[in-house]
Structures are given as C-alpha cells and as structure tokens.
C-alpha cells in the first residue's frame, strides 16, 4: 500500500502541449510526438512506464475500442437492425445476425424496442468509425429490470478498480448485480435499498476519482450505510 | 477606428493610460476552468472588465449530415454577445460581426485540435460574452481553448490570445474600451506558444510597418503570459480538489497578471 500511495502522491497533472520527455520512449495514449519530443495532447495525469509515456485523461468522450463491453440503449428499430446509442459520438447499428435469437425480416420490434437496454460487445470499427457491435458472446443480453447510471467514461477504470477489486467489493457488500460498460454506463439490479447504497458508493468514486485510498473510503461508506439499513 | 475623434486624453504626460497602465501592460486576467456542469468542458474568463463564458460539447455526431467530414472532426464555434453586455442594449442574435468572430475563432482552434481522431463528428464551442470592454474576441478564444482542454479534447497545444494597438500615436498592449473606440489601430493575435505559430491575426486601422511589428511582438509576449494563466486554471481545477478533499468545484482563488 505504501508504494502505491507514494506513486499516487507523485501524480502530476499535465495540460495539452506540455513537454513530457525529450526522447527514448514511445508516445502512449494521450500524447503525441513531434521532432523527437513527446508532448501531452490531453488534460490528464502523467504516467511513466519503462518503455512508454502516456497521459491518463481526466475527461473526454468514450471512443469505441475493439473488445469493449458496453451498455447500450436502443434508439431506433429498423427492419433488419436496431440502432444502439453507446454513449459515444457514433451510433452503433446492431444487425439481426449479431443477436442470440433468430429474427425474421421485419420482426425486430418483437424482440427489442426503443428504450431497451442491452449489454454489447464492440466487434470493431473502420477508419471512418463505423461501428460493429455484437450480442453473440456469453453474458451478452438484453438487460431487464434494474437501473442505468451514467458516469464519465474516463472514470470507469476507477469504478472497476485494479483487477476489478472495486467493483467486486461493491457487488459483495451490496448484493447487487452490476455491469460496468466501458462507455460509462453502469447497470445495477437488486433490492431497492441496496441499489441506493451502490449508487451512493459510485457517486462517491466519481466525486473523488483521483483521491488516495479510495477503496478503503468506499468500504467505510458501504459499511456505514449497511448498518443504517439493518 | 481612426475616424473617431475625442477630447479624452488617452495617454497622459507621464505616459500612463486612462486606467493607469503603462503602454506595455495588460489588464488583470483571471480564468476558471470547469464552471458549467452540463457542458463537456467549460471556462470562465475575466479580463479587465470583460466577462466571457465558453462551453464545449463533443466530439458528437455532426448535424446537419452534409457538414460531416469522413476524415476529420469539424470544429464549430458560435460567438454571441449578451444583449446586456454593452452600454446600449445590443440587439440579440447573430450579426455580421459575430459571424466573423465565430469563423476566425473556429479556424484558430481547428489548427490545434487533433481533428483526425474523430471522423464524422463535430466539436461545438459556444462563447457567450456577458460583459464587453474591448478585446472580447481574444478573451473568447482564450476561454474556448481552456474549455476544449477541460472537455478532454486532444490538442497540440492551448491557444492564447491578446491584442495590441495604437493609441495617441503610441503602440500599446491590450486596448481598453475607450482606447479601442478612439484609438488608431487594433491588432488581435492568437498564438500557439509551443510552436510559436500565429493562428489568428487581424488588423483594424492603419499602422506603419515598424509599428505593426512592434505591436505583434508585444501581443505575442502577452500571449505567453496568458498561456501561463490558462495552464494554471486547468491544473487548479483538479489539484485544488485533491489538496483539500471534499470541497467540490474549483477554488475561488484570484490570480492576476500585471
């Protein structure tokens, strides 16, 4: 813990255009290189690793990446596809061939309609950012019941925690079923008061995303709220 | 602007201006980042008596569709002056002047944003002038680039902006309202400090070659100071919260530049 904390206190906030390194490293995400030097391209926290230098952004839109799990909302229904809003600048068409059911032409509305929430996987995108999504993988499905919470996509890694530690603790301590989409949408289902507790905890993570010892704080909050409920 | 005459003495015997500044002195500048909750990014600038708010949305789906570029994002800007921003009520709505300013600010920002990362989208910048006192396009551009960075839009650098001009036959920095109205020339400059590029340059009035060079150099020097205030505003937005936890929002601390 002490090593993790000393690393966190060394966190340096950088702004676009700031010089990060003279040379010798690879320019990671959130950076760009020009004339052999590496500069920050986004407002974020500088992260130095042996071979690369990158910036962890503090804000920004969700950009779909191959393999991402996302929570989408159906916004339009076509004869052979659904249009899904995945909280990014690009809408994602979901074709009938990519769902786990056999859907006849024009029968799409009987399976899912506008407003439904689905768990999707990003299959990929082309250079024009036309997105391909799929529901054909285990665990991917239409999400019924529960509620959807939105957080900033840049804070998703904090909600999940290292190796899923944060989200695992949330699930264990509230007993809720939770899916965190990489696009910043979080689906929660369970008892009403445990949902309330989970939402409270997530809002706290969002508020103090770059505070130290966050996991411990969230744990205390959840313990306190569970005592009150009992 | 050269046409207007006045009996106000714009520069006194001691060489000081109406508000007591030296010719190469800027008005006090304060910037706050992340002031609006609903926008993806925002900034508020107080520059002398100017009060300007900027909000950024996007990158988001570009409408109307025919404006979409399959290779890059479109940076759109709308500059607007509130009807109460000037002495006589300004007739609300877009006019020739605000169209022009919107266009040049959008072009200046396009130059630094990595538009190729977001094909088919638009990045929308809205600049609202709440109180005007000359130099609002510079204040607007300065605010807009802070708002863009706050929105997490990838960019090569921030754009800083400041104006210079000629008043009572003297080249001066950062014109105030009376100096703008009754002075002889005004040169707003938008500057990218990292690469030493000028991305916005206009001139209103007449200057000799030497005066022009002197004015631009003065403005560029001031842009470097503006740049430091911009960087400070962005860093403060997050470090203020980390320093004393639990206090939401940016700190209300004032920072001024002489």
Task: Name the residue among B15, B69, B233, B63 with its Cα closest to residue B143.
Answer: B233
CA distance B110 to A143: 40
Residue B40 lies in a domain: yes
Tens-level pLDDT at each residue, chain B (258 residues) = 455 677 788 999 999 999 999 999 999 999 999 999 999 999 999 999 999 999 999 899 998 999 999 999 999 999 999 999 999 999 999 999 999 999 999 999 999 999 999 999 999 999 999 999 999 999 999 999 999 999 999 999 999 999 999 999 999 999 999 999 999 999 999 999 999 999 999 999 999 999 999 999 999 999 999 999 999 999 999 876 544 443 333 433 334 443
Residue to mutate among B68, B119, B147, B197, with most A CBs inside 10 A, is: B119
Task: Name the residue among B185, B218, B219, B232 with its Cα closest to residue B45.
Answer: B232
Q: Into how many domains does chain B fold?
A: 1
Residues of A in contact with B238 (CB under 8 A): 13, 58, 210
The CATH label, of 2.40.50.100, 2.30.40.10, 1.10.472.10, 3.20.20.70, for the domain at A2-57 is: 2.40.50.100
Q: Residue B188 sits in a domain of what CATH number?
A: 3.30.230.70
| Minimum distance, in Å, between the CA of residue A60 and any CA atom of chain B | 4
Task: Name the residue among B226, B181, B224, B222 with its Cα closest to residue B204.
Answer: B181
The CATH label, of 2.30.180.10, 3.30.1370.10, 2.60.40.1220, 3.40.50.620, for the domain at A147-229 is: 3.30.1370.10
**CB of B148 within 8 A of CB of A41?**
no
Q: DSSP secondary-structure letter at A210?
A: T
CA distance B79 to B101: 7
What are the residue ranges of helices labelled H in chain B?
96-110, 136-150, 177-182, 209-243
Residue B8 lies in a domain: no
Tens-digit pLDDT profile for residues A159-200: 999 899 999 999 999 999 999 999 999 999 999 999 999 999
CA distance A171 to A162: 15
Residues of A in contact with B245 (CB under 8 A): 208, 211
Contact criterion met (CB < 8 Å) for A211 and B152: no
Task: Say how many residues make up chain A.
Answer: 230
**Helix H or strand E encompassing B173:** strand B170-173
Contact criterion met (CB < 8 Å) for B238 and A58: yes
Report the pLDDT value the prediction gives residue B257, as an integer from 0 to 100. 43
Total Cβ atoms within 10 A of residue A160: 17
- Exposure letters B164-177 (e unless 16+ CB within 10 A, then b): bbbbbeebbbbbbb
**CB of A150 within 8 A of CB of A87?**
yes
Domain span including residue B87 = 29-237
**CB of B67 within 8 A of CB of B122?**
yes
Total Cβ atoms within 10 A of residue A103: 18
Report the pLDDT value the prediction gives residue A207, as an integer from 0 to 100. 86
| Minimum distance, in Å, between the CA of residue A44 and any CA atom of chain B | 8
* Reported ipTM: 0.88
Model pTM score: 0.90
CA distance B212 to B208: 6
- Exposure letters B210-241 (e unless 16+ CB within 10 A, then b): ebbebbbebbbebbeebbebbbbbbbbbbebb
The CATH label, of 3.40.190.10, 1.10.10.10, 3.40.50.970, 2.40.50.140, for the domain at A69-143 is: 2.40.50.140
Tens-digit pLDDT profile for residues A38-90: 999 999 999 999 999 999 999 999 999 999 999 999 999 999 999 999 999 99
């Amino acid at each position: 813990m002490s090593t993790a904390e000393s690393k966190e206190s060394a966190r340096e906030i950088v702004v676009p255009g700031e010089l990060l390194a003279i040379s010798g490293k690879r320019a990671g995400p959130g950076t760009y290189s020009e004339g052999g030097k590496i500069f920050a391209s986004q407002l974020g926290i500088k992260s130095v690793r042996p071979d690369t230098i990158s910036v962890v952004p503090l804000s920004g839109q969700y950009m779909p990446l191959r393999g991402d799990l996302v929570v989408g909302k159906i916004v339009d229904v076509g004869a052979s596809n659904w249009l899904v809003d995945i909280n990014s600048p690009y809408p994602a068409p979901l074709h009938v061939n990519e769902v786990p059911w056999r859907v006849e032409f024009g029968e799409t509305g009987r399976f899912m309609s506008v407003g439904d929430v689905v768990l999707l996987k990003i299959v990929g995108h082309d250079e024009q950012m036309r997105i391909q999504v799929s529901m054909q993988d285990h665990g991917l499905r239409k999400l019924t019941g529960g509620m959807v919470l939105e957080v900033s996509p840049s804070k998703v890694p904090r909600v999940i925690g290292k190796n899923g530690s944060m989200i695992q603790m949330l699930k264990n301590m509230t007993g809720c079923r939770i899916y965190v989409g990489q696009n910043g949408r979080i689906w929660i289902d369970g008892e009403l008061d445990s949902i309330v507790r989970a939402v409270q905890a997530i809002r706290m993570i969002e508020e103090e995303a770059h505070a130290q010892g966050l996991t411990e704080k969230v744990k205390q909050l959840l313990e306190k709220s569970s005592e009150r409920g009992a | 602007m050269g046409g207007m005459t006045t009996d106000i003495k714009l520069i006194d015997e001691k060489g000081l201006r109406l508000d007591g500044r030296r010719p190469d002195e800027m008005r006090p500048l304060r910037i706050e980042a992340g002031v609006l909750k609903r926008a993806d990014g925002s900034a508020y600038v107080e520059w002398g008596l100017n009060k300007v708010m900027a909000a950024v949305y996007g990158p988001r789906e570009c409408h109307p569709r025919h404006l979409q570029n399959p290779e890059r994002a479109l940076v759109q800007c709308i500059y607007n002056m509130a009807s109460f921003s000037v002495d006589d009520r300004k007739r609300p709505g877009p006019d020739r002047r605000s169209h022009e300013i919107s266009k040049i600010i959008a072009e200046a920002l396009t130059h630094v944003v990595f538009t190729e990362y977001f094909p088919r989208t638009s990045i929308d910048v809205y600049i609202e002038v709440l109180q005007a006192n000359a130099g609002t396009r510079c204040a607007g551009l300065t605010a807009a680039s802070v708002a863009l960075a706050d929105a997490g839009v990838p960019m090569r650098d921030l754009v800083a902006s400041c104006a210079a001009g000629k008043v009572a036959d003297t080249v001066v920095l950062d014109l105030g309202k009376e100096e703008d109205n009754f002075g002889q020339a005004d040169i707003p400059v938008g500057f990218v400090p990292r690469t030493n590029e000028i991305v916005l340059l206009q001139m209103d009035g007449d200057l000799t070659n030497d005066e022009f060079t002197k004015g631009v150099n003065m403005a560029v020097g001031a842009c470097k100071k503006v740049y430091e205030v911009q960087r400070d505003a962005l860093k403060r937005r997050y470090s203020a919260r980390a320093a004393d936890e639990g206090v939401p929002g940016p700190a209300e601390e004032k920072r001024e530049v002489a």
